[in-house]
Amino acid sequence: MAYESKAACSANSYIIEISSFKLPTSLSPEAFAALDKRVEEEFVSNQSGFISRDSGISVDNEPRWVNIVKWETLLDADENIYQFTQASAPASVKEYLASIGAEPVELKRYQHTGP
């Protein structure tokens, strides 16, 4: 799954945000993928500074989900996380967070350095 914005990266400088977590056993990977796509279309892709997003599931025995999002700035990435956790977030975001439950989310951010 990938969703590209119309925004261009200035001077090829942007933030790469990688989040991953164990999929809850109560939800099939297919059902979670559909929910993840809704969150991308209804929320994440509409955030300021959004460039692109890819999602996937691990190929080993422990099903882990990963999202790779590109943001124009670190401030844009921070604002998205803040908005993601607000009560005013769309129903799809609330369902997404509820489905993850207590699973710890690993979040890493990187500054793009290539051309």
CATH, residue 23: 3.30.70.100
CA atoms within 13 A on the CB side of 39: 25
Cβ-based neighbours of 54, under 8 Å, separated by 6 or more: 1, 2, 67, 68
pTM, two decimals, is 0.85
Residue type, 53: R
Residues spanned by the domain of 11:
2-111
CA atoms within 13 A on the CB side of 96: 22
- pLDDT tens for each residue of 98-115: 998 887 999 999 999 877
Number of domains in the chain: 1
| pLDDT for the residue 3 | 42
* Statement: residue 76 has pLDDT above 60: yes
